[in-house]
Amino acid sequence: MSNIAIKAENLSKVYRLGMGKRRHDTLRDQITAGLTSFISRNARNSNNSESILWALRDVSFEIKKGEVLGFIGRNGAGKSTLLKVLSRITEPTAGLVEIRGRVASLLEVGTGFHGELTGRENIFLNGAILGMKKAEMLRKFDEIVAFSEVERFIDTPVKRYSSGMYLRLAFAVAAHLEPEVLIVDEVLAVGDASFQKKCLAKMQTVGKEGRTVLFVSHNLSAITSLCQRVIWLQSGEIADNGNPHQVVSNYLSASSQIQPSQKWPDPNLAPGNDITRACSMRLHSNGHNTDVIDIRQPIIFEMEFEVLKPGHVLVPCIGLERDDGLVVFVSHDRDPEWRRRPRPVGRFKSSVHIPGNFLSEGRFIIGAGIITEAPLKVHFDVNPAVAFQVVDSFDGDSARGDLAGQMVGAVRPLLEWKNELSDSPNPLLSHR
Amino acid sequence: MSRAVVETQRSLGGDPNEPAVQIKPRKGWLHLDLGIIWSYRELLYFLVWRDLKVRYRQTAIGAGWVLLQPLLTMVLLTVVFGKLAKVPSDGLPYPIFSLAALLPWTMFSNSLSRGSESIVGNANLVTKVYFPRLILPLSGVLSPLVDFAVAFVVLIGMMIWYGIAPQANIVTLPLFVLLSVLTALSVGVWLSALNVRYRDVRHTVPFLVQIWMFASPVAYPLSLVPEKWRFLYSLNPMVGVIEGFRWAVLGQASPDFLLISVSVGVSLGLLAGGVIYFKRMESKFADEV
Which tens digit of pLDDT belongs to each residue from A301-323? 999 999 999 999 999 999 998 87
DSSP assignment string, A222-285: HHHHH-SEEEEEETTEEEEEE-HHHHHHHHHHHHHT--SEEE-SSTTTSSB-SSEEEEEEEEEB
Residue at B109: amino acid letter: S
The 3 state secondary structure assigned to A339-371 is: CCCCECCEEEEEEEEECCCCECCEEEEEEEEEE
**Among residues A52, A158, A177, which one has the least CA distance to residue A105?**
A177
Q: Do the Cβ atoms of A117 and B54 come within 8 Å?
A: yes
Chain centroid, CA A291 distance in Å: 23
Is A427 or B29 the better-scoring residue by pLDDT?
A427
Give A234: exposed, middle or buried? Use CB within 10 Å, 0-12, 13-18, 19+.
middle
Chosen from B5, B130, B135 to mutate, greatest number of chain A CBs within 10 A: B130
**Among residues A425, A320, A333, A316, which one has the least CA distance to residue A381?**
A316
Give the CA radius of gyration of chain B.
21
The number of residues in chain A equals 432
Number of H helices, E strands in chain A: 10, 18
Interstrand relation of A229-234 and A94-100 (parallel, antiparallel or unpaired): unpaired
Q: Write the pLDDT tens digit of every residue in B175-187.
A: 999 999 999 999 9
Instruction: Give the three-class secondary structure for A120.
Output: helix
Would residue A235 be called left, alpha or beta, if left means φ above 0 and alpha means ψ between -120 and 50 degrees?
left
Q: Do the Cβ atoms of A86 and B23 come within 8 Å?
A: yes
Q: Do the Cβ atoms of A100 and B8 come within 8 Å?
A: yes
Mean pLDDT of B50-70: 83
Contacts of B287 in chain A (CB under 8 A): 15, 21, 90
Instruction: Determine the angle formed by the axes of helices A119-129 and A134-148, rounding to 10 degrees.
Output: 130
Cβ proximity of A207 and A68 under 8 Å: yes
Quick check: A18 contacting B, CB < 8 Å? no
Quick check: A60 contacting B, CB < 8 Å? no
Chain centroid, CA B218 distance in Å: 16
Task: For the beta carbon of residue B25, count every other beta carbon within 10 angstroms.
Answer: 13
Chain centroid, CA A428 distance in Å: 53
Chosen from B33, B38, B42 to mutate, greatest number of chain A CBs within 10 A: B42
Sign of the C-alpha dihedral computed for residues B78, B83, B85 and B90 taken in this order: positive
Interstrand relation of A94-100 and B20-23 (parallel, antiparallel or unpaired): antiparallel
Q: Please tell me the distance from the alpha carbon of residue B190 to that of residue A45, in angstroms, as a whole number.
A: 30
The reply to whether the predicted model has a pTM over 0.80 is no
The answer for A 22-41 residues in CB contact with B (under 8 A) is: 24-27, 30
pLDDT given at position A74: 82
Would residue B101 be called left, alpha or beta, if left means φ above 0 and alpha means ψ between -120 and 50 degrees?
alpha
DSSP assignment string, chain B: --HHHHHHHHHHT--TTS-EEEE----SS----THHHHHTHHHHHHHHHHHHHHHTTT-SSTTHHHHHHHHHHHHHHIIIIIIIS----TTS-HHHHHHHHHHHHHHHHHHHHHHHHHHHHTHHHHTT--S-TTHHHHHHHHHHHHHHHHHHHHHHHHHHHHTPPP-GGGGGHHHHHHHHHHHHHHHHHHHHHHHHH-THHHHHHHHHHHHHHHTTTTSS-GGGS-GGGHHHHHTSHHHHHHHHHHHHHH--SPP-HHHHHHHHHHHHHHHHHHHHHHHHHHHHHHHH-
Q: Smallest Cβ distance to B288: which of A21, A89, A96?
A: A21
Q: Please tell me the distance from the alpha carbon of residue A68 to that of residue A56, in angstroms, as a whole number.
A: 21
Cβ proximity of A260 and A386 under 8 Å: yes
Residue at A143: amino acid letter: E
Chosen from A100, A123, A214 to mutate, greatest number of chain B CBs within 10 A: A100
Q: Do the Cβ atoms of A89 and B126 come within 8 Å?
A: yes
Preceding omega of A384 cis (within 30 degrees of 0): yes
Q: Which residues pair with A349 in a beta bridge?
A: A304
Q: For residues A396, A398, A399 and A400, what is the CA-based torsion angle, rounded to 10 degrees? A: -40
Per-residue pLDDT of chain A (432 residues), as tens digits, is 468 889 999 999 988 765 443 444 455 555 555 444 444 333 333 344 446 788 899 999 999 988 989 999 887 788 889 999 998 898 899 999 999 888 888 888 788 889 889 999 999 999 998 888 889 899 999 999 998 888 999 999 999 998 888 888 888 888 888 888 888 887 665 666 677 777 778 777 877 788 888 988 877 877 888 889 999 998 889 999 999 988 988 888 887 777 888 889 888 888 888 899 999 999 988 877 778 888 999 999 999 999 999 999 999 999 998 877 788 999 999 999 998 999 999 999 999 999 999 999 888 889 999 999 888 888 988 888 898 888 887 888 888 888 877 788 889 999 999 998 877 766 776 554
Cβ proximity of A157 and A114 under 8 Å: no
Residue at A74: amino acid letter: R
Give the CA radius of gyration of chain A.
26
Find all residues with CB under 8 Å of A403, minimum gap 6, and list them: none
Contacts of A2 in chain B (CB under 8 A): 12-14
Q: What percent of chain B has pLDDT over 70?
A: 91
Chain centroid, CA B204 distance in Å: 17
Contacts of B119 in chain A (CB under 8 A): none
Quick check: A49 contacting B, CB < 8 Å? no
Q: Could you give the angle at the alpha carbon of B271 between the alpha carbons of B266 and B277, nearest 5°? A: 125
Among A207-221, B81-95, B190-204, B237-251, the range scoring the smallest mean pLDDT is A207-221
Instruction: Give the three-class secondary structure for A330.
Output: strand
Q: What is the DSSP letter of A188?
A: G
Q: Do the Cβ atoms of A117 and B50 come within 8 Å?
A: yes
Q: Which domains does chain A have, with CATH numbers?
A: 4-36+48-255 (3.40.50.300), 261-391 (2.70.50.60)
Q: Write the pLDDT tens digit of every residue in B165-213.
A: 888 888 989 999 999 999 999 999 999 999 998 888 999 999 999 999 9
Residue at A104: amino acid letter: A
Judged against a pLDDT cut of 80, whether residue B67 lies above it is answered with: yes
The answer for A 208-237 residues in CB contact with B (under 8 A) is: none
Q: Please tell me the distance from the alpha carbon of residue B207 to that of residue B211, in angstroms, as a whole number.
A: 6
Q: Do the Cβ atoms of A98 and B11 come within 8 Å?
A: yes
Contacts of B21 in chain A (CB under 8 A): 88, 98-99, 103
Contacts of B50 in chain A (CB under 8 A): 114, 117, 121, 125
Q: Which residues pair with A384 in a beta bridge?
A: none
Quick check: A17 contacting B, CB < 8 Å? no
| Residues A79-113: b if buried by 16+ CB within 10 A, e if exposed | bbbbbbbbbbbbbbbebbbbbbbbbbbbbbbbbbb
